[in-house]
């Protein structure tokens, strides 16, 4: 179980971005998170993935502190995949940085063998995002934080990416937090959903609609 306990976080002298916020994500569960721009969604994702330390409160995995060494069991994916890779590395080296993905997974995510010899700038944003997702699914990963990972993709690429990712997380019983402005997407994918506003979480029905379109 991945848990946030009474988290507090603020930037500089601004009002608290997160204020005594608590959240629990079970293994195998898909949770949705939405809120206005600047509400702290990405900050919460970074705290859960151990990229930031809370100024108060605690993030735990199965009741223990997050590990500080080795491959982190909570991985965060962002909407800018180009920022997560070394532009001088070929895709094959990027894919195999943490593990060796099986051929069946590469096929499920539509990753061609001919991609391996290319550099990141030679792939589209959707293609590079697939590479990042597969790289993050290494053995030992327990939870994924998907922070607007399909926001810039076309409808077909969104659908293909989510179909493959949800299939893999279900097969392995991984917990998944989907952060998105698109509440239609969250209503389609998440088992429960929260709105982040004024530093706190409010449970919301997953049927809420923002009027935006989601992948078929």
pLDDT one-digit tens code per residue, 89-116: 999 999 999 899 999 999 999 999 999 9
Per residue, the 3-state secondary structure of 29-67, as one string, reads CEEEEECCCCCCHHHHHHHHCCCCCCCEEEEEECCEECC
Is residue 210 in some structural domain?
Answer: no
Is residue 50 in some structural domain?
Answer: yes
Could you tell me the pLDDT band of residue 179, with boundaries at 50, 70 and 90? very high
What CATH number is attached to the domain comprising 200?
3.40.50.300
**Averaged confidence pLDDT in the chain:** 91
Is residue 213 in some structural domain?
Answer: no
Which residues span the domain enclosing 180?
2-204
Is residue 139 in some structural domain?
Answer: yes
Is residue 36 in some structural domain?
Answer: yes
CA 49 remoteness from chain centre: 9
Token pair 């399909």 in the structure block, residue: 150
Give dist(CA 46, CA 50) in Å, integer: 6
pLDDT at residue 209 above 50? no
Give dist(CA 121, CA 141) in Å, integer: 27
Q: What percent of the chain has pLDDT over 90?
A: 83
Could you tell me the pLDDT band of residue 133, with boundaries at 50, 70 and 90? very high
Is residue 209 in some structural domain?
Answer: no
Task: Give the model's pLDDT for residue 69.
Answer: 80
Is residue 214 in some structural domain?
Answer: no
pLDDT at residue 8 above 60? yes
Task: Give the model's pLDDT for residue 211.
Answer: 39
Count of structural domains, the chain: 1
Could you tell me the pLDDT band of residue 207, with boundaries at 50, 70 and 90? low
The pLDDT of 59-77, averaged and rounded, is 92
The pLDDT of 162-172, averaged and rounded, is 95
Task: Give the model's pLDDT for residue 216.
Answer: 38
26-45 pLDDT, tens per residue?
999 999 999 999 999 999 99
pLDDT at residue 214 above 60? no
147-166 pLDDT, tens per residue?
999 988 888 889 999 999 99
Tokens of 152: 């810039």
Bridge partner residues of 178 (DSSP): 32, 146
Residues 6+ apart with CB under 8 A from 103: none
Q: What pTM was estimated for this model as a whole?
A: 0.91
Is residue 164 in some structural domain?
Answer: yes
Residues 6+ apart with CB under 8 A from 152: 79, 125
Task: Give the model's pLDDT for residue 206.
Answer: 63
């Amino acid at each position: 179980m991945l848990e946030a306990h009474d988290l507090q976080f603020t930037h500089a002298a601004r009002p608290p971005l997160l204020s005594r916020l608590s959240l629990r994500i079970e293994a195998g569960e898909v949770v949705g998170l939405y809120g206005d721009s600047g509400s702290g969604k990405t900050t919460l994702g970074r705290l859960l993935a151990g990229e930031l330390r809370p100024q108060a409160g605690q993030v735990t995995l199965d009741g223990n502190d997050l590990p500080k060494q080795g491959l982190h069991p909570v991985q965060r994916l962002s909407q800018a995949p180009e920022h997560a890779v070394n532009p001088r590395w070929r895709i094959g080296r990027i894919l195999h940085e943490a593990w060796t993905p099986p051929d069946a997974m590469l096929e499920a995510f539509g990753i061609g063998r001919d991609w391996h010899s290319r550099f990141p700038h030679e792939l589209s944003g959707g293609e590079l995002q697939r590479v990042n997702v597969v790289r993050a699914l290494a053995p030992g990963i327990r939870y994924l934080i998907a922070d607007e990972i399909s926001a810039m993709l076309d409808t077909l690429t969104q659908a293909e990416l989510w179909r493959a990712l949800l299939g893999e997380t279900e097969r392995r019983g991984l917990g998944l937090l989907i952060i998105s402005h698109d509440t239609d997407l969250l209503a389609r994918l998440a088992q429960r959903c929260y709105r982040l506003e004024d530093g706190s979480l409010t449970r919301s029905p997953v049927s809420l609609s923002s009027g935006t379109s989601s992948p078929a």
